[in-house]
Amino acid sequence: MTTTMDASRRTPAARPVAARARSLLLGRDAAVIVLLVAVWLIGSVSVDNFAKPNTVYFLLLDVLPIVLIALPMTMVVIAAEIDLSVASMLGLSSVIVGVLFQHGWPVWAAAVVALGIGAVGGALNGFLVATVGLPSLAVTVATLALFRGIAVGLLGTKAVTGFPESYKDLASDRLFGPGTAIPAVLLVFVVLAIGFGVLLHFTAFGRATYAVGMSAETSRFSGVNVRAVKFWLFVATGAVSALAGIYWTLRYGSARGDNAVGLELTVVAAVLVGGVSIFGGRGAIPGVIAGALLIGALRAVLRLADVSADAINIATGVVLIASVVFPRILSGVRGRRRRSRRRGLEPEPSLE
């Protein structure tokens, strides 16, 4: 609804809309990246130990599940939907790995099953949203409870531990030997980021995702299979969340039903800070990666500066709100200036 309003308000401007949108987008992405660099520099200069490889290493490990899930979430939000069930799926996947491991399965086989369950859970979301036509906010609030409920139901308050060291090392090994900053597991993210980046920005499916987010109806009339696009996006979020769950289990060496409670909100925050429009149709993968890193870096800086965890949450909230409010205010000011310029030429239309 609001998108239609926006569109109808913008068309009369009749300026090269695409060019303007592109410059806005670039500006937006650039702003996040500049902010990230600024936080990084300020952190390095003013906070002890921030620039140490070890800090960067732990920052990357901490941010990994967020930025992993943010990749498919970006596409879901660009398609004007949302998936709030991701953290619950992460927990469920972690519990599946744990329970199967407890029953004597090898970890890799348990992980494969967990990935499969992730895809199935995502398909359930996708089916309810794309085929039944339910609003994704309602559906994924429900599956948030459902997936978390199954996870907690299976394990209760118990935790499965004792995973083989070789698997745990997978999640914590460093790429260039001891003491260096880059965790080896980052390679998984790099591969997925390239994959999702290519999918979103260089394929027909990616263009269809933007089209669906701009206007589902128009894209249907132009021959886009809206249902299929939405369905597969939810399958992707489910599977990647399950992957993040496997990582979580191995990194902390413990499968628990309440792993990553509330992480969905951080993922959404990262995506929105990264410049994706909640109205759909706008956003890009590089911006989102910068957004997730920005939130991660901010948290790391504040933590090292001995700021308490709660103040860090306040900062996350402020960044989230500022990242959406400022562009709106700026565009509002710009629009008003344009309108008043026009008003000088035309008789003022009476409003009341």
Partner 1 sequence: MSVAPTFAKRDWPLMLVRRREFGVVAAVVVLVTVTTVINPGFAIGSDGFRNLLLTPSLLVILAVAQAIVIITKNVDLSVSAVLGLTAYATGLLFTDVPGAPLPLVVVAGIGLGAVLGAVNGFLVSVARVPSLVITLGTLYIYRGIDVAWAGSDRINATDLPSQFTALGTASLLGIPVMSIVAVAVVAIAAYVMSQTRAGRQMYAIGSNGYAAQLYGLAVRRTVFIGFVASGTLAGLAGVLFAARYATVSSNAGFGMELQAVAAAVLGGVAIVGGIGTVLGAALGAVLLTTISRALPTLGIGDFWQQAVLGALIIGAIVLDRAIAARQARRLRSAHARAAAVARKEPVS
Q: For binding to partner 1 (CB under 8 A), which residues are involved? A: 1-2, 4-5, 82, 128, 132-135, 137-139, 141-150, 152-153, 156-157, 257, 261-262, 265, 268-269, 272, 278-279, 308-318, 320-321, 324-325, 328-329, 332
Cα–Cα distances (Å) from 43 to 46, 47, 183, 323, in that order, read 5, 5, 21, 20
Closer residue to partner 1 (CB): 1 or 45: 1
CA distance readout (Å), 47 to 43, 231, 263: 5, 45, 26
User: Which of 180, 308 has the CB closer to partner 1?
Assistant: 308
Q: Report the nearest approach of partner 1 to the CB of residue 136 (Å).
A: 9
Count of CB atoms within 10 A of residue 307's CB? 14
CB 291, min distance to partner 1, A:
13
What's the angle, vertex CA 121, arms to CA 208 and CA 188, rounded to 5? 70
Q: Give the count of beta carbons closer than 10 Å to the beta carbon of residue 151.
A: 26
Tell me the closest approach of the beta carbon of residue 271 to partner 1, in angstroms.
10
Rounded to 5 degrees, φ, ψ at 233 are -65, -40
For partner 1, which is the closer residue by CB, 30 or 134?
134
Smallest gap from residue 328 Cβ to partner 1 (A) = 5
For residue 101, is it left (φ>0), alpha (ψ between -120 and 50) or beta? alpha
β-strand partners of 159: 256
Choice between 214 and 250, CB closer to partner 1: 214
Which one, 9 or 201, has the nearer CB to partner 1?
9
What CA–CA distance (Å, rounded) separates 342 from 14?
Answer: 13
Between 8 and 166, whose beta carbon lies closer to partner 1? 8
Residue 165 CB, nearest approach to partner 1 (Å): 30
Instruction: Give the single-character DSSP code of 281.
Output: S
Q: How far is the CB of 247 from partner 1 (least distance, A)?
A: 24
